[in-house]
């Protein structure tokens, strides 16, 4: 089914955002939706117990979204994985094989939306349902509020349930989503601020992470990491290039001297990139030999925006599907006007992708070697560590002359501070984790300082 025109989609989403500014009324009665002969999804007014005929379970408290501001979902990849494991185990259990299995929510509208996303995505992934079919089932007896961005302002873009289900299907199709080799402990470890604050968006291709700092320390409650802290992980996972989108906080040579390419494509925190930056980003990624690590200040807004552009060009995702998948992998990504920007770029990037694939096909048919990959526009790309095409000191200063980002707290600073604080609240061992982090920075200089905490 063809999507609306570019302008129409943007206006339609803005209108729906305005209409959803206040919560919809709670269901006046219990709602049961049959997913399969055995499996049901229910939206209830209060909790229910299992009986001889039915097995009931709820994850409203077990799997809770950690918000930045007004955002509330979708739940991240680890939570989706844990839900799938739980439900699959129940469906395979001999002891309840004759019972109806009821996955229910009795939470508010936000909990209902996340529960519907979980069961709908499960149906797409494990029951081989098309996203549209799963969505039709879920909305047949109930409606769900759309997800929104991680900002504190007025919502200007809705991400609906079908967008999320379609994103899951595309991720399955392209091999980005494969729970047979998914390490949930690793995902949850590295997404934490003290462990690097990083997530794979496309495994083996794009890693999004929080911007490195000149030296490892804790600032405003947020653990900051020096470039060297990431190098072992990058080498292990075949990352060959780093792209920096924020101002220069560290010397790029700390990556280049370790064998990584380093590219600077600065644009202001919270803003959208110009066409030149988008073109340069795509060229870098299309010619990278290995995976690419992308960061801005928090690794959410600018980072997600450009990765989303690549996904639309090379995988023909809709803007909404790209935003949905990136947020499932890295919650809080793509914020405010960046959402509308991605949607406005959709059709143009689709067309560019068609041309790119046609050219690549022609090159292969003509017997051209892989070294002749698309290189148009590469000449003006800035690669740190090389004197060629390096800007002068004056040009360099002009490029990073954004006063707020240089001297004040920006959106990225606030978002990553919030992430660190919420993770500390959610972890019973948060104090000990901070102590361990501090001790690791001290190394062998003050080993005795760490002893009291190890008792």
The residues annotated with a catalytic role in the active site are 296
**In 191-300, which ranges are continuous DSSP H helix?**
227-236, 253-256, 275-287
383 exposure class (CB count in 10 Å sphere: 0-12, 13-18, 19+): middle
Location of structure tokens 């939206």? 43
Compute φ and ψ for 390, nearest 5 degrees.
-75, 135
Q: How many angstroms separate the first and last alpha carbons of the chain?
A: 63
Among 304, 321, 303, smallest CA distance to 312 is for 321
3-state secondary structure of 281: helix
- Quickly count: other Cβ atoms within 10 Å of residue 64's Cβ: 15
| Rg of the chain, C-alpha, whole Å | 23
Instruction: State how far the Cα of 219 lies from the Cα of 198, in Å rounded to an integer.
Output: 18
| The two three-digit tokens of residue 107, written as one number | 């939470």
* Residues 6 or more apart whose Cβ sits within 8 Å of residue 63: 75, 79, 82, 83, 114, 118
| The two three-digit tokens of residue 19, written as one number | 């209409």
SS3 of the chain: helix, strand, coil, percent, to 5:
50, 10, 40
- Name 224's bridge partners: 217
* Residues 6 or more apart whose Cβ sits within 8 Å of residue 372: 363
* Alpha carbon distances (Å) from 213 to 226, 254, 352, 396: 5, 11, 35, 19
| The two three-digit tokens of residue 316, written as one number | 């023909």
* Alpha carbon distances (Å) from 194 to 150, 154, 328: 21, 31, 21
């Amino acid at each position: 089914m063809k999507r609306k025109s570019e302008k129409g989609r943007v206006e339609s989403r803005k209108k729906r955002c305005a209409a959803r500014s206040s919560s919809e009324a709670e269901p006046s009665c219990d709602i049961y939706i049959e997913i399969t002969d055995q499996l049901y999804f229910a939206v209830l007014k209060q909790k229910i117990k299992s009986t001889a005929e039915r097995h009931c379970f709820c994850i409203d408290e077990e799997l809770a979204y950690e918000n930045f501001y007004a955002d509330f979902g979708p739940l991240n990849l680890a939570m989706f994985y844990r839900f799938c494991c739980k439900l699959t185990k129940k469906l395979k259990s001999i002891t309840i094989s004759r019972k109806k299995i009821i996955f229910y929510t009795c939470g508010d509208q936000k909990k209902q939306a996340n529960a519907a996303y979980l069961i709908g995505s499960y149906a797409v992934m494990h029951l081989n349902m098309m996203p549209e079919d799963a969505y039709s089932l879920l909305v047949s007896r109930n409606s769900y509020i759309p997800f929104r961005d991680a900002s504190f302002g007025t919502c200007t873009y809705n991400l609906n349930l079908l967008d999320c289900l379609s994103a899951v299907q595309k991720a399955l199709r392209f091999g980005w989503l494969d729970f047979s080799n998914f390490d949930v402990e690793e995902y949850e470890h590295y997404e934490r601020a003290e462990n690097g604050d990083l997530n794979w968006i496309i495994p083996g291709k794009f890693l999004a992470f929080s911007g490195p700092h000149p030296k490892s320390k804790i600032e405003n409650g947020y653990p900051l990491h020096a470039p060297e802290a990431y190098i072992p992980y990058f080498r292990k996972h075949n990352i060959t290039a780093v792209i920096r989108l924020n101002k220069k906080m560290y010397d790029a040579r700390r990556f280049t001297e370790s064998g990584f390419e380093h590219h600077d494509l600065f644009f202001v925190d919270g803003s959208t990139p110009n066409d030149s930056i988008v073109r340069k980003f795509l060229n870098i990624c299309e010619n990278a030999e290995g995976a690419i690590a992308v960061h801005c200040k928090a690794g959410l807004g600018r980072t997600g925006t450009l990765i989303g552009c690549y996904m639309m060009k090379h995988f023909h995702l809709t803007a909404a599907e790209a935003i949905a998948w990136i947020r499932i992998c890295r919650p809080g990504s793509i914020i405010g006007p960046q959402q509308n920007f991605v949607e406005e770029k959709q059709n143009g990037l689709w067309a560019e992708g068609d041309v790119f694939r046609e050219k690549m096909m022609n090159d292969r048919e003509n017997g051209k070697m892989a070294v002749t990959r698309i290189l148009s526009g590469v000449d003006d790309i800035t690669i740190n560590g090389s004197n060629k095409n390096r800007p002068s000191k004056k040009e360099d200063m002009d490029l990073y002359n954004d006063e707020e980002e240089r001297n004040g707290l920006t959106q990225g600073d606030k978002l990553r501070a919030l992430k660190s604080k919420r993770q500390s609240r959610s972890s019973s061992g948060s104090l000990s984790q901070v102590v361990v982090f501090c001790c690791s920075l001290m190394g062998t200089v003050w080993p005795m300082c760490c002893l009291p905490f190890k008792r």
